Structures are given as C-alpha cells and as structure tokens.
Amino acid sequence: MPKRLTEIAIQFTQIPLSLFGQRNLAGEAPNVLVLRIQPDEGITLYLGAKVPGSVMRIEPVKMRFSYPEAFGGEPPEAYERLLLDSLIGDATLFTRNDEVEEAWRLTNGIIEAWKSQDLSNLPVYEAGTQGPHGVEDFIHDDGSKWRSI
C-alpha cells in the first residue's frame, strides 16, 4: 500500500425504508465507524446529519477521538508495552498456547492446500500501490467500493 496505516472501517447499511418518499437520503454520507490502530490511534465516527432548515438534505459530519490529542504525547509502541508486561509477569496481552496451536493448525491447512494448487495466476502487485489490476472490478461486482483515505 502507498501509506502505512492500520484501521478497521465499519460501514453501516442504509435503512431499508424511504423516509418522506425520498430515496437514499444519506447519499454519499454513509455512517462509518473507523477504528484507527496505527498511526494516530483513535476512533472516528462519520454520520449523515440533516442540514437544519426546511429542505431534506443530509451532509456528512465527523466525530473524532484521538489518543495523542486527548492525553498528550504519543502512546508507547506496542512492543514496548509487551516487553514491560513480560518483565512484570502480566500475561494479559499474550496469546495462550492452545490458541497458537489452533492458529498453526488452520494455517498449515491453508499452506497444504496452496501446495496442491497451481498458483501461477495469483495476482501480484508492486509495493506502494493500491493492489493488483482488476481490484476495482472485483469489489464493484457486488456494488461495493474501496474506502479512500
């Protein structure tokens, strides 16, 4: 990808009914909850809000929480936290051994399946790009679109 970013974006579906006889009031302002993992850890909620007045018009608004802005400074790196927890004996953030074994069991199944397949047509793309050719067609097939940042 062209930018180092880890986030989870949850786009809520439009309501299935038509208020006041109008269709798709939210238009290009869907409700989206974005959980930013790194960098700039925080939570943003994008809402479609009615513009005050007699005309029924929805515009996007943004509610944002940022850890650095709220608490000042940068939070510790993830590995700093893990190292400190391991030094003081706190296993809360560590994976249990049965979870690790199950993850490897599932992963090995995938690896074995790949070994038995011809992967010569697997899409490959250059680092720093948005993905392989045809990725737009792939997501548009079911009426979706990529979230641009």
What are the pLDDT digits (tens) for 94-114?
A: 888 999 999 999 999 999 988
Question: Are residues 41 and 67 in contact, defined by beta-carbon separation less than 8 angstroms?
Answer: yes
Predicted confidence (pLDDT) at residue 26 exceeds the cutoff of 60 = no
The answer, as to whether pTM is greater than 0.85, is no
The CA distance from 46 to 66, in Å, is 14
pLDDT for the residue 25: 59
Question: Are residues 43 and 8 in contact, defined by beta-carbon separation less than 8 angstroms?
Answer: no
Domain boundaries, the chain: 1-73, 76-117
